[in-house]
Chain A
Amino acid sequence: MQAACDTGRPFALPAGSYRVTRLLTCKLGNGKGLLANNVGVTIILDGPTAGIRITGTVGGADENVFITGLKITAKSQVPFLLDLYGVAEIQLTNLRLDGKNLAPYALLMRAAQKGQISGGSIYGATLAGIRQESATGKYGDVRSNAIEIHGVSLSNGNTNIEVAGADDGEIHGNHITAENTALSMTWIAR
């Protein structure tokens, strides 16, 4: 998986279950993108550092991260399921993320720009199902912006969508249930 990611070329993992026991990081730079069609693929995170991280330039470039149909679940305590750090041009379609009450965050987006989370389901994060926040890079503090979240079923997170450190964004047509706070928005566009 790491090798496939590092090529920067589109790939499709064969359907099946994959056990990930450490942090798997895809570093996207120099125009590399990530196009992954993963229908029927389940990644099971099992280990204290296990997670999937995709990193970009934190502003100033369009990485193009397009992921379809991937399922990620936690089997042990993990810090997150999927972390998008400083990437722009994002299309996440019909992902199934289930923290199983073992992950603070299901989808962590820091300095994430331009794109959408469309369809799919996000369950069982102990802090936030989706969290948007800022990150610091070459261009200073870059807040998440222009991320659209729609058509997603979110459930059983402490907070299901947490928007913290975002310039703008749109959240619509989602089914959001069974949590303490469904949608929390903090420090937006000060």
Chain B
Amino acid sequence: MTGLVSAHDNHFESNSVAAIWVKNARNVVLVHNAMYGPGSNDIVVNGMGTHVRIDGNQLNNGLVVGAGVGRVIYDNNHQLGRAPPD
């Protein structure tokens, strides 16, 4: 069984660990999300064979990819480095 889980156009803020954590998953697409931190990482990807596409997001701090991850396509993302507007 294969499928797709997509998270797109979401607003993340005030997360202490990560806005998005993908573990042991395939066919995950993360696009057009706005992440304002302030956690040390915005997106964490780990797990053997995990496949993720990350495209067109606004990140605050950045991406962490663990050992053994199958594929991460990371493109057109913007690292902001500031707090969200009130």
Question: Could you tell me which A residues sit within 8 Å of B by CB distance?
Answer: 143, 145, 163, 166-190
Binding site for A on B (CB under 8 A): 1-28, 47
Interface pair A188/B27, CB less than 8 Å apart: yes
Please state if B18 and A172 are interface contacts (CB–CB under 8 Å): no
With known contacts A172-B10, A175-B11, A178-B14, A185–B3 Cβ distance under 8 A: no
Partner of A145, one of B3, B16, B20, B28: B3
Q: Cβ of A183 and Cβ of B1 under 8 Å apart?
A: no
Q: A177-B12, A188-B26, A189-B25 are in contact. Are A182 and B18 (CB under 8 A)?
A: yes
A-B contact count (CB 8 A): 110
Q: Check B23–A184 contact: CB distance below 8 A.
A: yes
Q: Main SS of chain B's interface residues? A: strand
CA distance A8 to B4 in the complex (A): 33
Q: Are B10 and A185 in contact (CB under 8 A)?
A: no
CB distance from A60 to the nearest CB of B (A): 16
Q: Answer whether A169 and B5 are a contact pair too, CB < 8 Å, given A184-B21, A186-B24, A188-B25.
A: yes
Distance between A18 CB and nearest chain B CB, rounded to angstroms:
32
Q: From residue A29, how far is it (CB to closest CB) to chain B in Å?
A: 25
From the candidates B1, B6, B16, B26, name the one contacting A171 in the complex (CB within 8 A): B6
Whether A181 pairs with B4 at a CB distance below 8 angstroms is no
Q: Which of B4, B6, B12, B47 contacts A182 (CB 8 A)?
A: B12
- What distance in Å separates the Cβ of B44 from its nearest Cβ neighbour in chain A? 8
10 nearest A-B pairs in the assembled complex, by CB-CB distance = A168-B3, A188-B25, A167-B3, A189-B3, A171-B7, A180-B17, A178-B14, A186-B23, A183-B20, A182-B19
